[in-house]
Amino acid sequence: DAKTTQPNSMESNEEEPVHLPCNHSTISGTDYIHWYRQLPSQGPEYVIHGLTSNVNNRMASLAIAEDRKSSTLILHRATLRDAAVYYCILDAYSGAGSYQLTFGKGTKLSVIP
Amino acid sequence: KAGVTQTPRYLIKTRGQQVTLSCSPISGHRSVSWYQQTPGQGLQFLFEYFSETQRNKGNFPGRFSGRQFSNSRSEMNVSTLELGDSALYLCASSLARSNGLLSYEQYFGPGTRLTVT
């Protein structure tokens, strides 16, 4: 299984940008990079995904290294609601169109008021 | 549109019993996946269904099974419950890939909290 490496925890001050790193050195050419987050007592929530180019949406930005061996999730202004566990996941196509997301332990983000 | 719904939200069962959990995906989503989340093992993939067929299966014993109906609703069943089956069971739905290079986000439900005593 394609694996990712993330720091166990990070802290950020409220209203400051947050850069959450992820290493995925064994990524294959067709693997998409996904980010999900899980707030306390909730199911995971999709944040963003990309393949090769940087991506932006209303929640965050995803910066993908040129060699695709690492990526960074950027929250432009952290709010208290952004305190969650953030998972970096590789969507490795296993054939026949099926999905199988492999979650690691993620990064627990704390936001300080 | 309505999100992924799971029923029941909480369940308490006794060792040896069986349990059935239900998941209704987002309208139009034909892929439904199930995950188990425990404090020790984190989130682990159980299986994925598409068009009433199981396409992918994680590393869980045969006591864990599932099915999908023609309206894409899915159920998972755990027979002969063990204490270690206590977990949050999450269902996720997604659009189907149209070819091997496309990837879509998965939408997760709130989960069913199963406690086995």
Helix (H) or strand (E) holding B99: none
How far apart are alpha carbons A89 and A52 in whole angstroms?
15
Please tell me the predicted confidence (pLDDT) of residue B4. 97
DSSP type of residue A51: S
| Cross-chain residue pair B56–A100, CB shorter than 8 Å | yes
For B94, the closest chain A residue by CA position comes to A99
Please tell me the predicted confidence (pLDDT) of residue B101. 53
Min distance B100 CA to chain A CA atoms (Å): 6
Question: In sequence order, which residues have a C-beta less than 8 Å from that of residue B85 and are 6 or more positions away?
Answer: B78, B114, B116
Q: Read off the tokens for A58.
A: 């209303």
Residue A32: its chain B contacts at CB < 8 A? 103
Name which of A96, A102, A106 is nearest B55 (Cβ-Cβ).
A96
| Cross-chain residue pair B33–A100, CB shorter than 8 Å | yes
pLDDT above 90 (res A97): no
| Residue A60 near residue A75, CB atoms below 8 Å | yes
Tell me the pLDDT of chain B (117 aa) as tens digits: 689 999 999 999 999 999 999 999 999 999 999 999 999 889 999 999 998 999 889 999 999 999 999 999 999 999 999 999 999 999 999 987 765 556 788 999 999 999 999
Please tell me the predicted confidence (pLDDT) of residue A100. 77
Collapsed DSSP state (helix, strand, coil) of residue A35: strand
CA distances from A26 to A36, A75, A100, B53, B57 (A): 20, 25, 17, 30, 22
pLDDT above 80 (res A69): yes
Under the banding of pLDDT at 50, 70 and 90, the label for residue A103 is confident
pLDDT above 60 (res A1): no
How far apart are alpha carbons B42 and A42 in whole angstroms?
14
How far apart are alpha carbons B23 and B91 in whole angstroms?
6
